[in-house]
Amino acid sequence: MTQQPTPETKLNFIPKIGLSGGIASGKSSVAAAFAALGVAVINADQIARDVVEPGMPALLAIAKTFGTEVLDPDGGLDRAAMRAIVFAENGEQARLKLEAITHPAINAELTKQAFAATGPYVVMELPLLVEKQNYEWLDRVLIVDTTEAEQLIRLERRSNIKGTQASAMLAAQASRAERLAVADDVFENHGNFEQLNKSVAELDKVYRQWAKTGHAPDSQQLPAG
């Protein structure tokens, strides 16, 4: 997905790097490490939360589609109730309906923030980058990779989601092979935060040089733990 800027745009070239990976792969830790280095990081999950705040059009549409049982006592989205519907045995249609409501709003805000960002480059944390394939304006893709067994362990530990529901959440995403197939750069993340921060610092140097010269770097494959 790497794009080469033209001579006319090179002076104003701010690379847009899509950061993704499977659920519980460690992509948020990678994003935090970039942010600690002063890099602009835009988080799709945060935007997804913002667009369903009380009073927002997307939340009103969700309540109209799924009923008020998906709202909490304060009028916000009850994520546990919504998740139970989407990941139920026959929840595929529910998931598609939910995405038809939320994704246009999320994508519009993502695009707005991406092109307003300043700095040498911008990192877009996009959990569904591979599944949706609608980020043609990205210049590069960085995938955080780990095994499915590690994902399940982390998911159960951090979210208290176990067994069938955890497996269903993994199954609803792109496969590991599909993610790696679109990667320009790959983190192999096995949970060592010291190595993760070191590898992010190495990538930061590469990306800053790219932004400075306009010449896209070779693919990077770095251990992050």
Is 28 exposed, middle or buried, given 0-12, 13-18 or 19+ CB atoms closer than 10 A? middle
Give the per-residue pLDDT at 70. 95
114, 122 contact by CB (below 8 A): yes
pLDDT value of position 39: 97
Q: Which residues of the chain have pLDDT under 70?
A: 1-12, 191, 224-225
- Domain-located, residue 98: no
Asked if residue 109 belongs to a domain, the reply is no
The answer to whether residue 51 is domain-embedded is no
* pLDDT at residue number 9: 46
Instruction: List Cα–Cα distances, 137 to 2, 6, 14, in angstroms.
Output: 10, 15, 12
Domain count, the chain: 1
d(CA 95, CA 66): 11
162 in a domain, yes or no? yes
pLDDT at 8: 40
**CA 97-99-101 angle, 5° bins:** 75
Structural domain for 27, as ranges: 10-39+119-223
Q: Measuring CA to CA, how many Å separate 53 from each of 103, 107, 124? A: 15, 16, 21
User: Per the domain annotation, does 76 fall within a domain?
Assistant: no
pLDDT value of residue 225: 60
Question: Is 93 within the bounds of a domain?
Answer: no
Question: Does residue 24 belong to any structural domain of this protein?
Answer: yes
Specify if 177 maps to a domain.
yes
Query: Residue 141's pLDDT is what?
Result: 95
Query: How far, CA to CA in Å, does 52 sit from each of 56, 76, 101?
Result: 6, 8, 10
Cβ count near 99 (within 10 Å): 15
Residue 205 has a pLDDT of 95
Tell me the CATH number at 154: 3.40.50.300
